[in-house]
A and B are shown apart, each in its own frame.
Chain A
């Protein structure tokens, strides 16, 4: 590609801000959406944060529920990592090319793994419930299956992005394929894989909560009960507990990542494993008995996973299923996804820039983003409905707020991590020393380095948002998600099958698109 062809492109530091352009049309339509009739309810919700219910019975149930949620998250996460590593190796081009000389099986497996990935953990939960019954094992598997496919995708991306020189050197000196792969790629893969793996644990905690909100046990179930009856004081009891666990987990993982010298999550390539490899393995070994204890406490046993029951009989009326307005439903869902993704990806750097001059600004953002991650999207949707009219835009805002919480924190962490590393934060310091304002220094000094990897991560996140459209049916007219909840509650197996197929197809297309965008970003 020639330089002239690219001359229209904005400067690198501006790239992450581009999606925020979605704000402009949004600001135009937003005034028409406000009904503002429920500010008193929003105020009640906010005030209740200061006075959560301390009823001993409620506290006891909330804490027990939190234990279940954390246990499910931990088990689901561990299982997904183990399966995901295997899947990742199997769907890596370099592995196949080294072992068999052809790369196409990698692509095929990768495509195949898109199917479990395209189904939201909530759906997996409700499907597995049919097969396995009402057990914590269902929630664990519901997390493990889609997560394993996600981890597999990231691991294979990491593998294929590693420098191949060491591998070629080993191969040409006669090492067998397996040994050469393990030696050349194994250690180099570890930091990236573990950094991502740690992040998946944070995600697993959010998923386990959401599964509870939809009836699969744990703290989410308590949250849902309080939310349904608008008992905000009781709701906050659960939310504060969850926040404490969420923030401690994030802090712990961050500390471990620093200790073991791992890259921030946006980096897809990295140098060697460092001297902490042994410590890391010890930690993993230490995790095993913990997992066993958790499994015993939750009464999850391998025997349960094998006790399948047949699904209810399939009464299919395919012509009726085909007659559903698929194009319109898919268009609504895609529009919802795109708007939410643009807002989440674009607004995070924009807000960071806005608050750059004030020291308390980042603290405030941190707090807001923590709430975004903490509140399950159905809660955010309900709060938004207290002041906005229902519709696609309100649904998109609810999803955007949740994902903004996730992306914003990752971006802030990446900014601060690069500042900690000697030599890499120089640009921002140099800029501010030479008289640049804090905003410009952040924009040119920091964002320019992070721009591409941040956007590449944003592309991943868009896939997640597409699946999450399932959970905002509350606001009405939310496309495939609403239809899905309706089909589930009618036990319309034929519609469910069709819907899952459509979701899988959209995810495949979306991943293909985001793959292209990512490759362009990371190579460009």
Chain B
């Protein structure tokens, strides 16, 4: 039995080396032309913060539109994790990314020279809404100081690095003297999405939470949220949020003025054009506008205070 067992092993080694050699060749030929083609391929991505189920629809449309306007191949790369998207941008695996304010700053700090391209009209002054379960007894707050009513309550943020679902709310909480350790259980929850935050506060798992205004309004008007069970208790002041961020080297790779052409493609989108209307609608925007980089200085400062930016 032993010899029976060993013979095929010996034979297999020869076979494997032949197969492996063939393989190596095959892989080489498969890889080389692709590396060249990559030069002219614009890879775009986005961190889904709302309506993620429409991304499948949204990004092929956008990729087509960009491709038509810029004259290069555009590929949408799906990424669902904030950390993964920032890392991929630092690595240069993504050329143009739709970031939240905080993740955009994180990405810019890790990739100096990256350019802020454009934002939506609503991103200039974005708001977060603190919400509460009606059974929790928390009443709408008169002012920011009222946030102390959340001490000792079960409270959830959205994603760890969401600007509207975590960063700015935590900043306003801290200003009112509420630290993360003050919540019931000694820590807040992280629901990972605005929809989950609303569902968890409505169910009562968490007595209060915080969501971005856009998702709240949309869920309220679609009837997904029950206004008898969950109410808005406080609205934050406005802050700058989502924006498109581009790699610093796009002009070198795609030709002079390429970055500026991306910006003008976005800024020139109009609802009168049916294709562009679809894109604007899916982004929840009336139009895109230029985004001055300095409006994120405040975000960076808050990020450092809270420890999300090191």
Which residues of chain A have a CB within 8 Å of any CB of chain B?
35-38, 41, 57-58, 61, 126, 129-130, 133-135, 182-183, 186-187, 214-217, 221, 224-231, 234, 272-273, 277-278, 281, 285, 288-289, 292, 295-296, 299, 301-303, 309, 312, 315, 317, 378, 382, 385-391, 473-477, 482, 485-486, 488-492
Contact indicator B51/A229 (Cβ below 8 Å): yes
> Assuming A133-B93, A277-B5, is B204 touching A38 (CB within 8 A)?
yes
Considering the chains assembled together, what is the distance between the CA atoms of A58 and B253 in angstroms? Answer: 34
Establish whether residues B53 and A389, one from each chain, have CB atoms under 8 Å apart when the complex forms.
no
Q: A278-B8, A296-B30, A315-B310 are in contact. Are A183 and B51 (CB under 8 A)?
A: no
Closest to A494 in B: B310
Interface membership of chain B positions 111-133, coded 1 if the CB is closer than 8 angstroms to chain A and 0 otherwise: 00000000000000000000001
Q: Determine the distance from Cα of A224 to Cα of B81 in the docked complex, in whole angstroms.
A: 10
| Chain A residues, Cβ within 8 Å of B16 | 288
Residues in chain A near residue B9, CB distance under 8 A: 281
What residues of chain A lie closer than 8 Å to B61, measured between beta carbons?
Answer: none
Given that A57-B56, A303-B31 are known contacts, is A37 also in contact with B88, CB under 8 Å in the complex? no
CB-CB nearest in chain A for B84 = A215
Asked if B156 CB lies within 8 Å of chain A CBs, one says yes
| Given pairs A228-B193, A390-B206, A491-B86, 8 additional interface contacts (CB within 8 A) | A227-B193, A230-B199, A387-B205, A488-B160, A489-B83, A489-B159, A491-B110, A492-B310
Total interface residues in chain B, CB < 8 Å: 75
Known contacts A126-B83, A229-B51; decide if A221 and B78 are in contact (CB<8 Å).
yes
Chain B: CB-nearest residue to A218: B78
How far is A133 from B16 in the complex, measured between Cα atoms in Å? 30
By Cβ-Cβ distance, the 7 closest A-B pairs, closest first, are: A215-B81, A38-B203, A37-B204, A476-B189, A228-B193, A489-B160, A37-B203
| Least CB distance, B309 to chain A, in whole angstroms | 7
The answer to whether A272 touches B1, judged by C-beta atoms less than 8 angstroms apart, is yes
Asked if B301 is at the interface of the complex by the 8 Å CB criterion, the answer is: no
Q: Decide: A302 and B53 in contact? CB cutoff 8 A.
A: no
Q: Knowing A57-B57, A315-B310, A476-B190 touch, does A129 contact B82 (C-beta < 8 A)? A: no
Report the minimal beta-carbon distance from B175 to chain A, rounded to whole angstroms: 20
Chain-A contact segment, one of B180-188, B254-262, B280-288? B180-188
Are A476 and B185 neighbours in the complex by a CB distance under 8 Å? yes
Chain B residues in 8 Å Cβ range of A38: 199-200, 202-205
Known interface pairs A228-B48, A229-B53, A490-B309; A215-B80 also in contact (CB < 8 Å): yes
Chain B contacts of A226 at CB under 8 A?
A: 52-53
Complex interface: chain A residues within 8 A of B57 (CB): 57
Pairwise interchain contact A41-B88, C-beta atoms closer than 8 A:
no
> Are A474 and B189 touching (Cβ within 8 A)?
yes
Contact B203 A288 (CB under 8 A): no
Pick the contact of B53 from A234, A317, A477 — CB < 8 Å? A234
Check A296–B88 contact: CB distance below 8 A.
Answer: no
Complex Cα–Cα for A296 and B189 (A): 41
Contact B154 A390 (CB under 8 A): yes
User: A204 to nearest B CB, angstroms?
Assistant: 20
- The distance from the CB of B13 to the nearest CB of chain A, in whole angstroms, is 11
* The residue from A229, A476, A489 contacting B308, defined by CB atoms under 8 A apart: A489
Q: Which residue of A lies closest to B306 (CB)?
A: A490
The residue from A296, A315, A317, A476 contacting B187, defined by CB atoms under 8 A apart = A476
Which of B27, B53, B91 sits near A309, CB closer than 8 Å?
A: B91
Pair B308/A230 contact, Cβ less than 8 Å:
no
Would A476 and B156 count as touching, CB distance under 8 A?
yes
* Complex CA distance for A391 and B186, rounded to whole angstroms: 10
Residues of B within 8 Å of A35, CB to CB, are 203-205
- CB interface residues, B 1-44, toward A, < 8 Å: 1-2, 4-6, 8-9, 12, 15-16, 19, 23-24, 26-27, 30-31, 34
- Collect the chain A residues with CB atoms within 8 Å of residue B24's CB: 302
A134-B77, A217-B78 are contacts. A61–B199 as well, Cβ < 8 Å?
A: no
B246 proximal to A (CB < 8 A)? no
Whether B81 pairs with A41 at a CB distance below 8 angstroms is no
Q: Which of B16, B85, B87 has the most CB of A within 10 A?
A: B87
Residues of A near B51 (CB, < 8 A) are 229
Contacts of B206 in A (CB 8 A): 390
Q: Which has the most chain B C-beta neighbours within 10 Å: A216, A292, A476?
A: A476
State A378–B193 Cα separation when bound (angstroms). 12
CB-contact partner of A58 in B1, B56, B154, under 8 A: B56
Is B247 at the interface (CB under 8 A from chain A)? no
B277 part of interface (Cβ distance < 8 Å): no
Q: How far is the CA of A234 from the CA of B52 in the complex (A)?
A: 12
Measured CB to CB, the nearest residue on chain A to B159 is: A489
